[in-house]
Structure 1
Amino acid sequence: MTKKEKILLAAQEQFGKHGYTATTLKMVADCAGVASGLVSHYYGNKDNLFLESGGELIDQMLAILTDKAKAGENGIKSLEIFVQAYFDFTEQHRTTFPTLLRSSPFSDEYPHLDRTHIAAKFKQLIDRIEDYIIQGMDDGSVREVPLPQTSYLVYGHIVGAVRTEFLTPFQIDKLFKEACQFIVRSLAKT
């Protein structure tokens, strides 16, 4: 792993654990085992590092989810695989994934941060959901639903389940499994 990659991973962990406001570039540098100046050299300032760390996670996640969803034999199955893979990704990246919760366009943390770039990355996830819904309406596995509204509602449901799992004191057994099945039941053509 290069020093730049170590810095990005350390940033994801620190922002995920402490949030934007409480995380310092020095904390990131210490966690990565590099000099503070190197963090600034690669990423400029804390805003850029924060957004870059979230954007890199989305790119990584989208590649994995899209690849897994290719196994679906129709639109609803591809959507189900995509959603379950999203939840699996959050579980497998528990120390870094909270960075996405904090940097997302849905976050109220540090409201003055320009999230235009990160919003475009999140929009790729929503667009992929919409692709599977359209595929399903075309192949008959998904009932007719309004778009893009349904794509945003599906993503909102995913985000709600993830936020409940990561940010609340509630301990809900099999929440992700049921959230996925709820989405499938809501869209499947019967």
Structure 2
Amino acid sequence: MAMGPTKKELLLKAAKELFSEHGYSETTFKKISERAGVALGLLTHHFGNKEKLFLTAGLDVVHELVQTMRTNLQGVPNGLEAVRIFAKTYFDFARNPRQDFMVLVRCSPFSDLKTVEDKDVMIRNFSELYEILEECVKRGVRDGSIRDLDPHKTSVVVFCNLVGGIRHGLLTPYGDDGLFDDIVDFVIYGLKAR
């Protein structure tokens, strides 16, 4: 007989949904426990406080994104194509409502987290995405599919385009259905060896 989600899992899912919908400040423990259908006291038991729950929710989303990236990048023929897959995966993941990516858009894990220790944990985990992207760029420079660029600086610039694009696409009325494909094409055009 298949087991359903645990109460802790229900609380985490409800928290991710509510942080995504309402942001950090408007999401309360009461709303989370009601959405999850779980007693309010279990939130404190499992997560301690709202900030720890927010950190857990954000890390859960980042871990899922990292795993999705690693899976989608397997067997890619060259570095330029790896950057394309990275960018497309980022946009597809971010727009999938089941992934609760809006936790990272509506609430900044870098500004809404209050303690240095919590910010450091988020930075270390989020840095995995930069490292994956930097490896894609390094590979492309080595295999000749990407022009001779500094992989670290380039990965930061590319990531800025992706983050700005997703924020723009999800939070403003501007752009059209082709916005994300246009951003990917723009990034690839800028990197491609001539």
Whether these two folds match at TM > 0.5 is yes
Please state whether the residue corresponding to 1:173 is helix, strand or coil.
coil
Deviation at 1:161, TM superposition (A): 0.5
CA distance in structure 1 between the partners assigned to 2:16 and 2:173 by the alignment: 22
Return the offset for 1:93: 2.5
Alignment map for 1:147-166 (pairs within 5 Å): 147-166=151-170
* Residue in structure 2 matched with residue 187 of structure 1 by the alignment: 191
The answer (yes or no) to whether the contact 1:51–1:118 under 8 Å persists in 2 is yes
Aligned partner of residue 73 in structure 1, secondary structure:
coil
Count how many residue pairs are aligned between Structure 1 and Structure 2. 187
Distance change (3 Å), C-alpha of 1:56 and 1:95: closer
Shift of 1:118: 1.1
Stretches of structure 1 lacking an aligned partner (at least 5 in a row): none
CA contact 1:65–1:82 (8 Å) conserved in 2: yes
Measure the CA separation in 2 of the matches of 1:113 and 1:184: 38
Which residue of the partner structure matches residue 167 of structure 1?
171
TM-score, normalised to structure 2, is 0.90
The equivalent residue for 1:103 is 108
Alpha carbons 2:69, 2:89 under 8 Å: kept? yes
Q: Paired residue for 2:30, among 26, 31, 43?
A: 26
Matches within 5 A, 1:92-131: 92-93=96-97, 96-101=100-105, 102-105=107-110, 108=111, 110=112, 112=114, 114=116, 115-131=119-135
User: Distance in 2 between the 1:13 and 1:81 partners?
Assistant: 27
Counterpart check, 1:6 vs 2:15? no
TM-score w.r.t. structure 1 length? 0.92
Q: Percent identity?
A: 34
Matches within 5 A, 1:43-82: 43-82=47-86
**Contact persistence 1:78–1:132 (CA under 8 A):** yes
